């Protein structure tokens, strides 16, 4: 089964390919030779995920999936949430986003946060959504250099290190993306049996 993964974020491709292994043939936009910046104009992760998969489906007529992820910080009323990629400005900049996040949180004692991933799959002309959540907290200064995005300030519940201090395998034992992808794989496996 061949599936295009509608993302321009190579970190997401690496993480999801690692989870899926060779069970399915996952092709990134880059591998498919598609070079477009898919708009994410909506106010929810669900709508943006659907926008990305629908855009690529219309373009390729090939089964595909996409995902939208947000970091939801309790003390900031769920910010940066759906705006996670461009929190500090129109250009995607991981370091500036982290700076803004830590500045806005200041010395607040409530450091609770969660990553939420929504995967949108289009297969056999039908649309399906899968969600994965990872609870945790935001530390006061970045630690670690692995991963991407907000990984260096996020410690998942049950761990003592940030995602950026973990290997991809370790991150995947906790991660929002892993949980959503497992649901996707379960669904695809059931389809295969029919
Ligand atoms: P695509 O839209 O092309 O898939 P993107 O990087 O724009 O790639 P999102 O719109 O889902 O992806 O943006 C979510 C942002 O949230 C992303 O740019 C990172 O800053 C952050 N993020 C997402 N997943 C993350 C993770 O596992 N660890 C740390 N930060 C993450």
pLDDT (tens digit per residue) in 60-114: 999 999 999 999 999 999 999 999 999 999 999 999 999 999 999 999 999 999 9
pLDDT of residue 160: 97
Q: What is the mean pLDDT of residues 22-50?
A: 93
Going from the N-terminus, what domains does the chain have, and what CATH number goes with each?
2-193 (3.90.950.10)
CB contact set of 121 (below 8 Å; sequence gap of 6+): 53, 63, 64, 65, 127, 128, 129, 130, 184, 187
Strands (DSSP E) along 35-98, which ranges?
64-73, 80-81
- Is residue 63 annotated as a catalytic residue, yes or no? no
Ligand 1 contact via 114 beta carbon (within 6 Å): no
pLDDT of residue 59: 95
Residue nearest to atom 28 of ligand 1 (CA): 151
**Rounded to an integer, what distance in angstroms lies between the CA atom of residue 90 and that of residue 154?**
23
pLDDT of residue 21: 84
Query: pLDDT tens digit string along 134-193?
Result: 999 999 999 999 999 999 999 999 999 999 999 999 999 999 999 999 999 999 999 865
**Rounded to an integer, what distance in angstroms lies between the CA atom of residue 15 and that of residue 161?**
19
pLDDT of residue 193: 57
What is the pLDDT confidence band of residue 1, given thresholds at 50, 70 and 90?
Answer: confident
The SS3 assignment for 121 reads strand
Question: What is the crossing angle of helices 176-193 and 10-20, to 10°?
Answer: 50
Ligand 1 contact via 57 beta carbon (within 6 Å): no
Question: Which atom of ligand 1 is least distant from the CA of 163?
Answer: 28
User: What is the whole-number distance in angstroms between the Cα of residue 75 and the centre of ligand 1?
Assistant: 21
User: What is the whole-number distance in angstroms between the Cα of residue 193 and the centre of ligand 1?
Assistant: 33
First-to-last C-alpha distance (Å) of the chain: 14
Q: Which residues pair with 135 in a beta bridge?
A: 114
| Token pair for 112 | 């609770």
Ligand 1 contact via 80 beta carbon (within 6 Å): no
Catalytic residue (choose from 63, 68, 90, 93): 68
Instruction: Find the range with the poorest average confidence among 19-33, 111-125, 166-180.
Output: 19-33
Ligand 1 contact via 40 beta carbon (within 6 Å): yes
Asked whether residue 194 carries a pLDDT value surpassing 60, the answer given is: no
């Amino acid at each position: 089964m061949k599936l295009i993964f509608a993302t321009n974020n190579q970190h997401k491709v690496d993480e999801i390919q690692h989870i899926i292994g060779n069970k399915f043939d996952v092709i990134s936009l880059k591998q498919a030779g598609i070079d477009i910046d898919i708009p994410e104009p909506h106010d929810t992760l669900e709508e943006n995920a659907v926008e990305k998969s629908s855009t690529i489906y219309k373009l390729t007529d090939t089964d595909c999936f996409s995902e939208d992820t947000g970091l939801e910080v309790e003390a900031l009323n769920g910010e940066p949430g759906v705006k996670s990629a461009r929190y500090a400005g129109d250009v995607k900049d991981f370091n500036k986003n982290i700076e803004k996040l830590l500045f806005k949180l200041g010395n607040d004692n409530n450091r609770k946060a969660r990553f939420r991933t929504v995967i949108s799959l289009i297969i056999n002309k039908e649309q399906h959504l899968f969600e994965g959540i990872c609870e945790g907290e935001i530390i006061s200064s970045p630690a670690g250099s692995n991963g991407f995005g907000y990984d260096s300030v996020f410690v998942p519940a049950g761990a003592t290190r940030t995602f950026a201090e973990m290997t991809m395998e370790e991150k995947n034992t906790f991660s929002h993306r892993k949980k959503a992808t497992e649901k996707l794989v379960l669904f695809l496996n059931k389809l295969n049996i029919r």
